[in-house]
Amino acid sequence: MNKRTARLRFPVVALAAASALLLSGCTSGGSGSDFATTTPTELSGTVSFWHFFSDREADVIQSVVNDFEKANPKVKVTVHPGQDDEKLRKAISTGSKVDLGLSYSTDIVGNFCSTGAFRDLGDVIKRDKVDMSQFTGTVKSYTEFNGTRCSMPVLADVYGLYYNKDLLQAAGFTEPPKTLGELETMADKLTTYNADGSIKTLGFNPTMGWYENAPSHYGPAAGAQWLNADGTSAIGTDAGWPALINWQTAYVQKIGWDKLNKFTSGLGQEFSADNAFQTGQVAMNMDGEYRTAFIKDQAPKLNYGTAPFPTADGHTDLYGGGYITGNIAGISKGSKNPELAWALMKYLTTDTAAVVKLSNGLKNVPTTHAALTSPDLEVSPQFKTFLDISESAHTTTTPPSPVGAGYQQSFQDWWNIYQTDPSADLPSALTTIDKQINDSIQLVSGP
């Protein structure tokens, strides 16, 4: 009886084994079409555009996309908003769904350029004679990796200090702080308590990991380095990080971690109208230039000012700089409409009217010289601060790496825990982080 079933079983197993070998060889990047050798004269078809913005910000993107469609009547753009890096990556890796992808940060550049997930744009840039000098130096550096340019900058985010003018004046301050020491002194005076001793309002919230408090944003305050020239971690050997860590953890311990954590847990969500700075629960805060748009939309009566973020005591020469990162766009490996994607990308990144419109709507910093100096650019006094920071020589970014933002994540995770109990030996802890980062880089791209 069983000979038959036995005989049938073998082919089935063989089939499974064969398919195993077959499938293991196949990649899922999708096979896309190539760029043309000469610039196409007429553009027609459908192109898919994936980006991370949502709600109000997505509407701004849509209006610029509509302008593009008007200028190219035969082209239809299908927009996919709300796609974070994880989802974007998934879509790019699993086929041809994404033509043009816009990421909120430069983290994926290192990986996407080296694996080809975003295409190399070198040839089409030359072909269409795109002038790369219209972008600032830092901006160019974070959109390429190891000589391969696979992305273009689409507006930048710059970080600085926001301060509540009313609260500061009430406490007798007319100027924002310029050093971390001043920041702490002013914040102490601005902090108020409830009858039971719990915090009512904070002058400044030093909790690492809350809102935009991240090591990457603080680094420039002490000129701290992330990676060495060879791509290995520099955290353990840099002198800037211990200065920042010690200041921050000392301040946290001074307020009291439990008290601080309890207060922080009850604060509103960062991008909702209950944002703690917008409600006045926190008098001074580290945030990006886009916050000016949110305040205009959600808390228009707030009397606030902006300034470069204070530097560490002893690094006062760095004042005026800050952290810059950008939204970046790239054309996916599996795209079947690379020319359309390239046309849309050029429009979004180099067309001055488009860049200015995007900047005015999102309140992000433009990345081309023409847009920065355009008379159509709406510049409120608070926004001007960030334009200045973006041009400062002391403004730095987080370098691209094959592990993407992994190295930042490792450091941040450690710092988030260290601030609750800063008793461990700091130098050896930082050396351990170095080793962890180097190990994970090795795993991903070592020989």
Partner 1 sequence: MKRRGLSWVGEHTVLVALGVLFIAPVIFVVLTSFMSSDQTLTASLWPNPWKWSNYTEVFTQVPLLRWFGNSALYAVLATVFMLVSSVPAAYVLAKIKFRGANVLFTAIIIAMLLPPQVTAIPVYVMWSGAGLTGTLWPLILPNLLGDAFSIFLLRQFFLTIPKEYADAARVDGCTELQVLTRVMIPMAKPGIAATGIFMFFHSWNDYFGPLLYTSENSDWWPVAYGLASFRGIHGTDWGLTMAMTVLVMVPVVVIFFFAQRVFVEGITMTGVKG
Partner 2 sequence: MTATADALQSTLGVPTATAVRTPRYRLRRRLVTLALLTPALLGLLIFFVYPLIASVYYSFTRYDLVSPPEWIGLRNYEYLFTKDPKVIIAALNTLWFVAIMVPVKIVFALLIAGLLARARAANGVWRTLFYLPALIPPVASVVAFVFLFNPATGPVNQILRLFGIDGPLWFNDPAWSKPSLLLLAIWVMGDIMIIFLASLLDVPREQYEAASLDGANGMQKLRYVTFPNITPVLLFALVTGIIAALQYFTEAAVASGVASGKAVVGEGTGNNLGYPGNSLLTYTEWLYVRGFSQYQLGYASALAVLLFVVSAILLVLLLRRFKAFTPEGAF
Which residues are near partner 2 by CB under 8 A? 1, 4-5, 8, 12-13, 15-17, 19-20, 23-29, 52, 54, 84-87, 89-90, 92-94, 103-105, 111, 115-117, 261-262, 265-266, 269-272, 333, 403-404, 406, 409-410, 413, 416-417, 420, 436, 439-440, 443-444, 446
Query: How far from each other are the two terminal CA atoms of the chain, in whole angstroms?
Result: 55
Side chain identity at residue 395, one-letter code: T
Tokens encoding 226: 């992330």
Distance CA 261, CA 279 (A): 18
Residue span binding partner 1 (CB under 8 A) among the ranges 38-46, 89-97, 231-239, 244-252: 89-97
Candidates 58, 66, 116, 98; CA nearest to 82 is 58
| Closer by beta carbon to partner 1, 269 or else 442 | 269
Whose Cβ is closer to partner 1: residue 48's or residue 401's? Answer: 48
Sequence-distant (6+) residues with CB within 8 A of 228 are 234
Among 43, 67, 69, 87, binds partner 1 (CB under 8 A): 87
Tell me which residue of 366, 432, 390, 337 sits closest to 44, measured CA to CA. Answer: 337
Quote the least distance from Cβ 295 to partner 2, whole Å: 16
Q: Which of 381, 382, 355 is nearest to 369 (CA)?
A: 355
Q: Which does 55 bind (CB under 5 to 8 A by kind): partner 2, partner 1, none?
A: partner 1
Site for partner 1 contains 93 (CB under 8 A): yes
Smallest CA-to-CA distance from 173 within 305, 312, 316, 319 is with: 305
Among candidates 240, 346, 233, 217, which has minimal Cα distance to 291? Answer: 217
Measured from the CB of residue 88, what is the shortest distance to partner 1 in angstroms? 7
Should residue 21 be labelled a site residue for partner 1 when binding is judged by CB under 8 A? Answer: no
Q: What is the CA radius of gyration of the chain?
A: 25
- β pairing state of 324-331 and 192-193: unpaired
Q: Tell me whether residue 241 or residue 263 sits nearer to partner 2 (CB atom).
A: 263
Among 12, 23, 195, 229, which residue interacts with partner 1 (rule: CB under 8 A)?
23
Of the candidate spans 186-194, 271-279, 356-364, 410-418, the one that interacts with partner 1 by CB under 8 A turns out to be 271-279
Closer residue to partner 2, CB minimum distance, 184 or 289:
289
Residue (248 or 275) nearer to partner 1, CB: 275
| Closer Cβ to partner 2, 180 or 276, answer by number | 276
Give which of partner 1, partner 2, none residue 105 binds (C-beta under 5 to 8 Å, depending on kind).
partner 2
Q: Which of 12, 26, 195, 229 binds partner 1 (CB under 8 A)?
A: 26
Q: How far is the CB of 105 from partner 2 (least distance, A)?
A: 6
93 or 432: CB nearest partner 1: 93
How far CA 5 is from CA of 9, 15, 17, 90, 224, in Å, comes to: 6, 16, 18, 41, 69
Residue 322 neighbours by CB under 8 Å, 6+ apart: 158, 159, 160, 220, 308, 309, 389, 392, 394, 395
> How far is the CA of 138 from the CAs of 104, 129, 324, in angstroms?
17, 21, 8
Give the interface segment with partner 1, choosing from 138-146, 254-262, 269-277, 418-426 (CB under 8 A): 269-277
Nearest residue to 102 via CA among 369, 401, 332: 332
The tokens for 53 are 């913005």
Q: What residue 273 binds from partner 1, partner 2, none (CB within 5 to 8 A, per partner kind)?
A: partner 1
Does 257 help bind partner 1 (rule: CB under 8 A)? no
Place of tokens 């707030």: 302
Burial of 54 (0-12, 13-18, 19+ CB in 10 A): middle
Pick from partner 1, partner 2, none: which does 25 bind, CB < 5 to 8 A by kind? Answer: partner 2
Judged by CB under 8 A, does residue 95 bind partner 1? Answer: yes
Beta bridge partners of residue 145, listed in sequence order: 148
Which of partner 2, partner 1, none interacts with 420 (beta carbon under 5 to 8 A by kind)?
A: partner 2
> What is the footprint of partner 1 within residues 51-80 (CB under 8 A)?
54-55, 80
- Note whether 192 binds partner 1 by CB under 8 A: no
Question: Which CB sits closer to partner 2, 117 or 284?
Answer: 117
How near is the Cβ of 103 to partner 2 at its closest, in Å? Answer: 7
Return the residue matching tokens 């109000």: 56
Binding site for partner 1 (CB under 8 A): 1-2, 5, 9, 23, 26, 28, 54-55, 80, 82-83, 86-88, 90-91, 93-95, 97, 268-269, 271-274
